[in-house]
Chain A
Amino acid sequence: MSSAPAVVTEGLALSYGSPSPVLEDVELALPAGSSLCVLGPNGGGKTTLFRALTGELTPLRGSVRVDGRPAYLAQTERTRLDFPVSALDVALMGSLANGRWWLPARRSDRAAARGALARVGLEDRADVRFGELSGGQRQRVLLARALVQDARVLLLDEPLAGVDPASGERIEALFRELRDEGRTLLVSTHDVDSARAFDRVLCLNHTQVAFGNPSMALTRAALEQTYGDEIVVLDDDGSGGPVRAVTVQHHHH
């Protein structure tokens, strides 16, 4: 693992146009090839942080530095399902990152897109309409698009939400491969238990509650401050170390 930081934020505060921040005091440094789990309640600032890392949101205060242009995987329900494109077409969109958007895709781009689909285990679904794939398969196609983009940093917004177990295993295996290649992964999730498998954990609830390795960040105090009454701690040995917990979702639509 290289020690050069791939993502750094210093005193970061973010807002959507208003002078009062929706997220503040985010202080991160992630080495290349590491993985970060971002935990927090709905509206706690997970997606807002990702928007700052993609450059969409300009910081209200503080700074953001990312190694190259990060790939971003929105929650799959934010993609449009009635748009007539195939899985291969979606993977091929990754080659737009080369900046030559006005030119048709090259033969080498197509080869890269097919290769990426093979890597996510969907080479035989290349011609299927994106909207007809299962949620897990769509997430894998979006991951293939990120592979074609060849980004050093990947931002994944709840990539395992609503994903079938087979796709979930495939995606998690791919996460390990990507880290081994020196890519940096930032994954937001509601699954507190899965956070233990990451190198670092960041807890957000309008501010940075905790950041560090899982044993430091997944404490009862930090989780209760992050989730409030949405957290149920299952197993706490009293040592102050990492605990097992689940979140109880209160969805507001």
Chain B
Amino acid sequence: MDLLEPLQSGIERRALLEVALLGGFCGALGYWITTFRLSYPAESLAHGLLPGLVLAALAGVPLLLGGVAGVAVAALVVAVAGRDPRVGSDTATAVAVTGSLGLGGLLALSPDAPTRLEELLFGNPLGVSDGDLIAAAILALFGCAALVALHRPFGAVALDADGARALGIRPTAVRIALLGLLAAALAVAVQGLGSLLVLAILVAPAVAVHGHVSSPGRAMVASGATAVVAGVAGIYASHLLGTAAGASVALALCLAAVLGAALPVRQAGRNGGSPPLRSRASQ
């Protein structure tokens, strides 16, 4: 295959640019999402924002607005459900999120729904608009600037929240800042990757680099680079094999995670070694 072939098509050029912009930021952010054990809340938000997307499509307003409103409502629903003491926060969240997905499906499958449900669920990087690309570029620019600025507080809280508090860093404020970045990333990235698959670009690259890096800074760069490479590979695979672009990108990202997890971790020594993600840690 001619490697430059997808670049000759405007549609695929835009898809490649979209996954590169999203991958660079979401991959780096994903390192902190996994470090702070926020993968499940991230998945809940991603799925829970579907009704917002569908309503925006029905109303004919930009999907980005629907994504922003959807993620805000989903955050509220997850926060309220998570406080339910009767069945436990995980179960209550699962019910609330599945309910949101059902509501989104109900709205999208109504007779006058203009947008195809599958694009909102599984994404379509080949269908991104100029507006989507501008939103992705702004997200990448400001998001990466925020990650640089928050790098030291994130690290201090991740290691030892009580110690960080004594240094004048407020762990709750740090977590809210991280959730804010997550919400922004979801609202923008869901345009290209869909409500069901967007989590792949946030979590899979961080899993791929876990245990292979010697510092949080390097982990962020490696995770962002992995997301870009896997995302581009997914678009190429979709072009070559004629498969759905969003699903191909998600599968390429998850394949990277499987490869990264299968590779031996750095030997314990002066710089290396990292116990698995599930090892004990303070909350």
Interface-facing stretch out of B52-60, B155-163, B245-253: B155-163
A130 x B159 contact (CB < 8 A): yes
With A149-B167, A155-B166 known to touch, is A85 a contact of B273 (CB < 8 Å)? Answer: no
B 249-283 binary contact with A (CB < 8 Å = 1; else 0):
00000000000000000001011111111011110
Q: How large is the interface on B (under 10, 10 to 19, 20 to 34, 35 or more residues)?
A: 35 or more
A82 x B274 contact (CB < 8 A): yes
Would you call A54 an interface residue if the criterion is a C-beta within 8 Å of the partner chain's C-beta atoms?
yes
> Which chain A residues lie closer than 8 Å to B213 at the CB level?
84
Interface-facing stretch out of A31-39, A71-79, A178-186, A203-211: A71-79
Q: How large is the interface on A (under 10, 10 to 19, 20 to 34, 35 or more residues)?
A: 35 or more
A83 x B35 contact (CB < 8 A): yes
Interface-facing stretch out of B39-47, B83-91, B146-154, B226-234: B146-154
A 115-152 binary contact with B (CB < 8 Å = 1; else 0):
00000000000011111100000000010010001000
Q: B109-155: which residues lie under 8 A (CB-CB) from chain A?
A: 149-153, 155
Would you call A252 an interface residue if the criterion is a C-beta within 8 Å of the partner chain's C-beta atoms?
no
B 202-219 binary contact with A (CB < 8 Å = 1; else 0):
000000000001111001
B166 x A80 contact (CB < 8 A): no
- Across chains A and B, the number of contacting residue pairs, with CB separation under 8 Å, is 110
Residue of A nearest to B149 (CB): A102
> Which chain A residues lie closer than 8 Å to B153 at the CB level?
96, 101
B168 x A85 contact (CB < 8 A): no
Residue of A nearest to B166 (CB): A72
Would you call A70 an interface residue if the criterion is a C-beta within 8 Å of the partner chain's C-beta atoms?
yes
Instruction: State the Cβ distance, A168 to closest chain B Cβ, in Å.
Output: 20
A105 x B168 contact (CB < 8 A): no
A85 x B159 contact (CB < 8 A): yes
B279 x A85 contact (CB < 8 A): no
> Which chain A residues lie closer than 8 Å to B282 at the CB level?
74, 77-80
With A56-B165, A74-B162, A84-B219 known to touch, is A93 a contact of B275 (CB < 8 Å)? Answer: no
> Which chain A residues lie closer than 8 Å to B268 at the CB level?
132
Q: Whole-angstrom distance between the alpha carbons of A128 and B214 in the complex?
A: 10
B215 x A85 contact (CB < 8 A): yes
Known: A102-B152, A128-B270. 9 other contacts (CB 8 A): A70-B166, A72-B162, A72-B163, A82-B276, A86-B215, A90-B159, A102-B149, A104-B152, A149-B167
